[in-house]
């Protein structure tokens, strides 16, 4: 039996970037879904690229090429496989773990910064020149920021084509394309099909009705994850923290639905995410969370999906985390009991920082007093969480005023491309914000997988997954749930 089929295989080597091409080919030959999103392979004789778990006949080694990103495969002239849909895999865990410029850039591109601000805007946020960003991304990933954003736009377009009845012209601009011609050319290049043919190829259950030109019922999504996923603890935490007016969790345990409002670059949104019944077993290939998005502007689709992925920690690598933490005598029984436990993030980093500082009850007061009311409330969801600038002007005194003013003027940056160390230093420089609150913000808002609370003496063997180790201890009732 191949080592790639063994549940205990040390997948942590993936994060070190040391897999050679022969090892990657063995993963392809084994159709190992644990590597979906970690790399892609393309077949020279067919002109198609796939995810490692593609069910098609394994190609001969001499005909296979490997790519770090789908954009790199597309840039080399390969089309996406229609069987395995490589564009729909979970994102690489590397981009959430890494704190260097490439990791920060990938998080920003995922959030739609290139579409909104161009490569110049991306470079400014990273503190580099556009030429440096282009060079670093191309050298490591085989594609620059424009190509990476183009691949993301193509995926967004496919989702809209196959799940809504919107006219093709509207979908082109909603996906971020500058023109219908650019949209048509990209869809043909990536999927080897016209937009209308791609829509016709949608699964019967998800095919849009010609009589429904707008997504009035919301856009249905499957938010993919790799490996086992412990949804229960994530929904427990969200239910415990839910701020009235902005969030709600309803339904019985195991079948709950989390709903919340979203402030997005072009408009607002309401999302519903379902807790899948039953805990997945260790060693499973992966799965998804069902979600539905209602957006006032469809250009926000990509951004909202990425923010949900960070909230539910869907791009994590549970195999690498469990392999490291499961070797520790204290954590081993906890990991065995809850394989694939996640470290939840947030859908709005600035909102999370305010809530971490003031607590749930005060956050609810701020929402009712300063939050913007939705034009069309949806059940108990009535408001957006107030923006930092609004709070800074309304309540300028004390720690809350200091934090919101710093967020509003950019002295503290918590966007996906923020430098984590710089953000923590800026937070600790604010009056009234202690180290414990800064650690919560670093874990949840900045997605750092290796945060230890102040004063905690945690073993180095838990690195680089101390955030996950603490989540195991909290879920088991051994630590305060903060």
* Chain segment 151-208, per-residue pLDDT in tens: 999 999 998 998 888 899 999 998 989 899 999 999 999 998 999 999 998 766 545 5
Task: Write down the pLDDT at residue 18.
Answer: 56
359-394 as b/e: b if 16+ CB within 10 A: eeeebbebbeebbbebeeeeeebbbbbbbbebbbee
Task: Write down the pLDDT at residue 440.
Answer: 97
- Segments of the chain scoring below 70 in pLDDT: 1-18, 203-217, 277-285, 481-482
Q: Judge contact between 245 and 367, C-beta under 8 A.
A: yes
Our answer to whether residue 84 is catalytic in this structure is no
Task: Write down the pLDDT at residue 263.
Answer: 97
Our answer to whether residue 457 is catalytic in this structure is yes
CA dist., res. 81 & res. 92, Å (int): 19
Q: Provide CB contacts within 8 A for 17, sequence distance 6+.
A: 94
Task: Write down the pLDDT at residue 213.
Answer: 43
The SS3 call for residue 240 is: helix
Per DSSP, the residues of 402-450 read HHHHHHHHTSS--STT--HHHHHHHHHTSTT--HHHHHHHHHHTS--S-
Domains of the chain by range and CATH? 3-87 (3.40.10.10), 94-163+165-206 (1.10.10.60), 217-297 (no CATH), 349-446 (1.10.340.30)
Catalytic residue among 36, 50, 317, 450: 50
Rounded to two decimals, what is the model's pTM? 0.89
* Chain segment 69-110, per-residue pLDDT in tens: 999 999 999 999 988 889 888 888 888 788 899 999 999 999
Catalytic residue among 375, 397, 457, 460: 457
The pair of three-digit structure tokens given for residue 216, joined into one six-digit string: 């009035």
């Amino acid at each position: 039996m191949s080592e790639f089929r063994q549940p205990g295989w040390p997948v942590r080597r993936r994060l070190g970037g040391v897999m050679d091409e022969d090892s990657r080919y063995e993963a392809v030959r084994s159709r190992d879904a644990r590597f979906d999103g970690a790399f892609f392979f393309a077949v020279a004789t067919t002109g198609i690229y796939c995810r490692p778990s593609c069910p098609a006949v394994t190609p001969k080694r001499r005909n296979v090429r490997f790519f770090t990103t789908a954009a790199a495969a597309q840039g080399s002239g390969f089309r996406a496989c229609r069987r395995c849909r490589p564009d729909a895999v979970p994102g690489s865990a590397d981009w959430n773990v890494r704190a260097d410029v490439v990791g920060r850039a990938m998080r920003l591109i995922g959030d739609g910064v290139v579409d909104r601000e161009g490569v110049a805007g991306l470079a400014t946020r990273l503190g580099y020149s556009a030429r440096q960003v282009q060079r670093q991304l191309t050298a490591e990933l085989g594609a620059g920021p424009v190509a990476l954003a183009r691949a993301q736009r193509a995926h967004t377009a496919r989702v809209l084509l196959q799940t809504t009845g919107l006219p093709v012209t509207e979908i082109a601009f909603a996906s971020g394309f500058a023109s219908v011609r650019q949209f048509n050319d990209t869809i043909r290049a990536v999927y080897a099909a016209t937009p209308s043919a791609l829509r016709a190829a949608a699964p019967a259950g998800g095919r849009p009705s010609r009589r429904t030109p707008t997504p009035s019922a919301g856009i249905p999504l499957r938010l993919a994850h790799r490996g086992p996923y412990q949804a229960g603890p994530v929904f427990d935490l969200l239910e415990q923290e839910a701020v009235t007016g902005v969030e709600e969790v309803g339904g019985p345990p195991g079948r709950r639905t989390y709903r919340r409002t979203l402030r997005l670059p072009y408009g607002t949104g309401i999302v519903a995410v379902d807790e899948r019944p039953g805990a997945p077993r260790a060693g499973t290939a992966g799965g998804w969370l069902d979600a539905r998005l209602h957006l006032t502007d469809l250009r926000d689709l990509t951004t909202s999906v990425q923010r949900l992925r960070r909230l539910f920690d869907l791009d994590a690598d549970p195999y690498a985390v469990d392999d490291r933490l499961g070797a520790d005598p204290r954590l081993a029984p906890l990991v065995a009991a809850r394989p694939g436990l996640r470290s939840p993030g947030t859908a709005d980093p600035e909102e999370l920082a305010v809530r971490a500082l003031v607590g749930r009850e005060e956050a609810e007061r701020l929402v009712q007093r300063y939050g913007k009311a939705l034009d069309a409330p949806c059940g108990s969801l009535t408001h957006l969480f107030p923006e930092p600038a609004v709070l800074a002007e309304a309540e300028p005194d004390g720690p809350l005023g200091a934090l919101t003013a710093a967020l509003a003027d950019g002295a503290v940056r918590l966007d996906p491309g923020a430098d984590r160390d710089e953000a923590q230093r800026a937070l600790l420089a604010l009056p009234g914000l202690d180290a414990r609150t800064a650690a919560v913000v670093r874990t949840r808002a900045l997605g750092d997988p290796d945060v230890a609370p102040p004063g905690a003496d945690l073993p180095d063997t838990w690195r680089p997954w101390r955030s996950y180790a603490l989540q195991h201890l909290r879920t088991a009732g051994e630590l305060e749930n903060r």
